Amino acid sequence: MYQAKQQGKNTFQFYSEKLNAESLERQTLEFGLRHALERNEFRLHYQAKRDIRSGQITGMEALLRWEHPDLGLVAPMQFIPVAEETGLIVPIGKWVLRTACEQNVAWQQQGLPHLCIAVNLTARQFVDEHLLSDLATILSETGMDARLLELEITESLLMQDVRKTLQVLTGLKELDIRIAIDDFGIGYSSLSALKQFPLDSIKIDRSFIRDVTSLAEDRALTEAIITMGRSLSLTVVAQGVETKEQADFLRDNACDEFQGFYFNKPVPADQFRVLLQTQTTRNDTGA
């Protein structure tokens, strides 16, 4: 009995220590996030989207990174939920949008191709009452062509409040901004549900792509998503493509674009500029 009590006490102590550690980590992240913008600790990395047939870069996604002075590089999955819960994601998100637009305009001014840049919106950002006015201001002040900005929202967010979603998406389209559904497939939206929204593209969730060459169910679902997207005249993008076999499958099934480590990892702006410059040079020389 004493041993059982002692084991129970040890278990309780273990969980208490774990909870205390998690609480301390969250406090550290929240405190750091409140000062990260003013300390210029955020960075954007860029990952190419490529045409499935030619391999040409057709656009890029801007991905947020946080270089914490003590913790080092903090993964988005660690700090984005904290930023979302505290509301800090709104000013951070505005910084991301402005920085992405400024960078895209800078590349264009350097003679690089005019490509679409994608930025993720979280649920908190999507329902923010100032979203549309903030976007209009950012586009105006940076000189960014709105048609070259694509905002990504998740499939689950799309279906939470259809009336509110339609209102926001309509406002985005009035600004000429492109709209993509991110992580598509895990919410099982129907064709009839999708066609009510003014969408431009869908991005197949990476969980389907990971096993697309080995699991019949994932193959069938991926094929169905591609067919659905094409029937709605949407650009279909596969995320998380890491192997030649995955790319070949997507090419054979008429997917439009893909994104993933098979061709490019997310890289800082200076490295991404080299990718764009290399492609431009090859196109100019016919190589």
Q: What is the pLDDT of residue 212?
A: 93
Structure tokens at 58: 């057709």
Q: Tens of pLDDT along 139-163?
A: 999 999 999 999 999 988 888 899 9
What pLDDT sits at residue 48? 97
Q: What pLDDT is attached to residue 11?
A: 54
Nearest to 112 by CA among 256, 272, 257: 272
> How buried is 258 (Cβ within 10 angstroms: 0-12 exposed, 13-18 middle, 19+ buried)?
buried
Pairing of strands 149-154, 42-51: unpaired
Give CA–CA dist 243/211, Å, rounded.
11
CA distances from 273 to 46, 95, 113, 153, 212 (A): 10, 20, 11, 26, 32
Query: What pLDDT sits at residue 185?
Result: 83
CB atoms within 10 A of CB 275: 17
Q: Which two tokens stand for residue 116?
A: 């679409």
Return d(Cα 282, Cα 137) in angstroms, integer. 36
The low-confidence residues of the chain, meaning pLDDT below 50, are: 1-2, 4-5, 14-15, 17, 19-21
